[in-house]
Amino acid sequence: MGHNLNYNKRTGRYSFFSVKEKAWHGLGQIVEDYPTSAEAIKHAGLDYEVEKSPLYTKGSGIIQVSDGIVIQDTEIEVPDYFANIRTDNNTVLGVVGKDYHIVQNKDAFSFFDSIVGGESGILYETAGALGQGERIFITAKLPNYIRIGNSDDVIEKYIFLTTSHDGSGSITAAFTPIRIVCQNTLNASLRNMSNVVRIKHTAGAKQRLNDAHKVMGLANSMTAQMDGIFNRWAGISVKDSEVRKLIQLALCPNKETYNLLKKGAEDELSTMFKNTVDDAFAYAMMNDTQQLETTKGTLFGAYNAVTGYFQNVRNYKDSEAKLKSIVLGGTAQAKGQEAFNLCTAFEKAGADIFLLN
């Protein structure tokens, strides 16, 4: 799979680290023990700073001299706009406005450290820089987990943070539960409660700290709800035909396809859609992690059929595209949410939810 990891010519290393396993990529520094935030910054090649520098453009000035006119290039400062420059190698990362507030990489780690306050337990697992260093990401594991039934099927709690230095977006922190047995991301919004907090680059440090505590409160609240939901779903039986119908509805790309499903006109469905449904259904029926007591023939397994398809079956252009799709509001996240909503409806109404006429 391709990647867009930043390569630091000065150190001869890619800006990425992972604990024990090469998460996502075959690149990066492997560390045996969970590092402190100060160590993680160095391991990941994020120990650089960014500063705003005045922006200039070329203009033409006319100078009158005794024997004629000379046209001379001049520099004109661009008002209210600045270049964000990486100070260790003078790379321009992007152009920003006068109100843009730089959040240094070390500030992003401080954000994590403040989430748990005085408690110990936050564990940095991956971090890295993309492109020229204009976007960074950090994944940290929170203490405790959700256990499904009395099994070894556990869901660990992560917070994924990404921020940019090129003016392209907010600081985004997402609470992201991951089913460990298959590295499957189960993020979902509950009762109109989003699992994502976004902080504008104009915010001050105090605001960031307040939002950090909000993320922790969000994680605790959502964990309690998900624990109950997923454990109930693991005890609800579903037929194979119902799993297939749920997959069809969750992956349905448009109204036209939905109307064909409603009519039962499966022969008229596009080949691409049918192939996608077949791949997701095959994952549901044959993948080892879908044949556990918690997932085989259960509503929890049906939900994992959709999320697991995007995590473990679907092909992406590169790892960055996969990340955006699954964690940062892309197709996989949207379809996972649709599957979550359908399973919630199934729990309330049973198979009637799939009677489309």
Q: DSSP letter string over 145-182?
A: EEE-TTSS-EEEEEEEEEEESSSS--EEEEEEEEEGGG
The greatest distance separating any two alpha carbons of the chain, rounded to the nearest whole angstrom, comes to 95
Per-residue pLDDT band for 27 (boundaries 50, 70, 90) equals very low
Residue 348 pLDDT: 87
Q: What is the DSSP letter of 214?
A: H
Residue 86 pLDDT: 92
Give the DSSP per-residue string, 258-301: HHHHHHT-GGGS-HHHHHHHHHHHHHHHH-GGGSSTTTTTBHHH
- Rounded average pLDDT over 263-291: 84
Residue 166 pLDDT: 87
C-beta separation of 51 from 102 below 8 A:
yes
- With vertex at residue 226, the alpha carbon angle to CA 224 and CA 230, rounded to the nearest 5 degrees, is 130
Quote the pTM value: 0.80
Per-residue pLDDT band for 160 (boundaries 50, 70, 90) equals confident
Range of weakest confidence among 56-60, 103-107, 199-203: 199-203
196 Cβ contact list (under 8 Å, min separation 6): 172, 173, 174, 175, 329
Amino acid at 313: V
Q: Which helix (DSSP H) or strand (DSSP E) does residue 355 occupy? A: none
3-state helix, strand, coil in the chain (%, to 5): 40, 30, 30
Question: What are the structure tokens assigned to 145, written together?
Answer: 């987990």
Q: Say what percent of the chain tops pLDDT 70.
A: 80
Residue 70 pLDDT: 65
Q: Which residue has the higher pLDDT, 111 or 162?
A: 162
pLDDT at 305 over 80: yes
Per-residue pLDDT band for 232 (boundaries 50, 70, 90) equals very high
Give counts: helices (H), strands (E), the chain. Answer: 9, 13
Residue 133 pLDDT: 86
- Rounded average pLDDT over 169-180: 82
Per-residue pLDDT band for 299 (boundaries 50, 70, 90) equals very high
Mean pLDDT of the chain: 80
Residue 66 pLDDT: 64
- With vertex at residue 123, the alpha carbon angle to CA 178 and CA 34, rounded to the nearest 5 degrees, is 120
pLDDT at 262 over 90: no
Distance CA 343, CA 66 (A): 85
Amino acid at 30: I
Distance CA 260, CA 268 (A): 7
C-beta separation of 75 from 56 below 8 A:
yes
Per-residue pLDDT band for 24 (boundaries 50, 70, 90) equals very low
C-beta separation of 316 from 325 below 8 A:
yes
Residue 42 pLDDT: 84
pLDDT at 190 over 80: no
Range of weakest confidence among 70-74, 216-220, 237-241, 307-311: 70-74
Q: Say what percent of the chain tops pLDDT 90.
A: 12
Q: Report the 10 Å Cβ neighbour count for 289.
A: 19
Residue 210 pLDDT: 65
Q: Which of 263, 249, 216, 235 is nearest to 150 (CA)?
A: 235
Residue 5 pLDDT: 64
Range of weakest confidence among 48-52, 163-167, 190-194, 331-335: 190-194
**78-99 pLDDT per residue, tens:** 888 999 999 999 999 999 988 8
Per-residue pLDDT band for 4 (boundaries 50, 70, 90) equals low
Residue 17 pLDDT: 56
Q: What is the DSSP letter of 134?
A: T
Residue 18 pLDDT: 60
